[in-house]
Amino acid sequence: MKKVIKIAALSLLGLTLSVAHADENAIRQALTKSMPSVKVGSVKPSEINGLYEVTVGGNIFYVSDDGKYLVQGHLVDVAARVDLTEEKLSGVRKQAIEKLGLDKMIVFKPKESKYTVSIFTDIDCGYCRKLHSEIDQYMAQGITIQYLFFPRAGKGSDSYHKAVSVWCADDRKAALTAAKKGDTPPAKTCVNPIDEHMQLAEDFEVKGTPMIVTEKGNIFPGYLPAKQLAEALADEKGQK
């Protein structure tokens, strides 16, 4: 009898997995058909029956099991008072930045690095300039800063061309520092990651600059003084 129950249980599990796989394929096909330009990442069941969690770039959406309906928003566990979507988004952001790679960022690193943040910056943004003017203070706190460009005026703007010129400079860090002080960098063009930075900013739904992304993928929108940022990063590091 126990053997029969075990076989039935295994059969049911196999059926469940087959249905889940079928739903995943249906969702992928439906999204590819309706939004061919969208590159779908992972597709897996969400905490709500019949609703699947779909990653697209640095974003998470929820889609019905037939791929017909898409829900944009955050899933919250009311009883636990936990934003489930935000918890997962931090992991998605972390992976996206790691995938981009250090060779596509301008990195300012102290002698002894305790923390690392990635910052979306705009050369012509006032608070971005303030933050960079205090770069030595961030270095003193042991904070490595990885810069990505997000010219808010858009592609083709003066800020965009400045970002390209800084990237193409012989000394990117020196060029960025000069540009942050108000100097116009000598116009240069080369193969650059600025468009990738901007796409990532769009995926992360960046609304303003600077936007700070921590090692765990959490976000601090806006300028934070070095000491305050170090304290926040220490708190994050201490969390399990």
Residues with catalytic roles? 122, 125, 128, 152
- Parallel, antiparallel or unpaired: strands 40-45 and 59-64: unpaired
Element (H, E) at 14: helix 2-34
Helix (H) or strand (E) segment spanning residue 11: helix 2-34
Rounded Cα–Cα distance for residues 134 and 132 (Å): 5
- 220 — phi, psi (to 5°)? -120, 105
Q: How far is the first Cα of the chain from the last one, in angstroms, to the nearest whole number?
A: 45
3-state secondary structure of 232: helix
CB 57 within 8 A of CB 41: yes
Whether the CA torsion 178, 184, 186, 188 is positive or negative: it is positive
DSSP string across 153-183: T-TTSHHHHHHHHHHHSSSHHHHHHHHHTTP
Spell out the residues 6+ positions from residue 121 whose beta carbon is closer than 8 angstroms to its own: 128, 131, 132, 147, 148, 149, 150, 209, 210
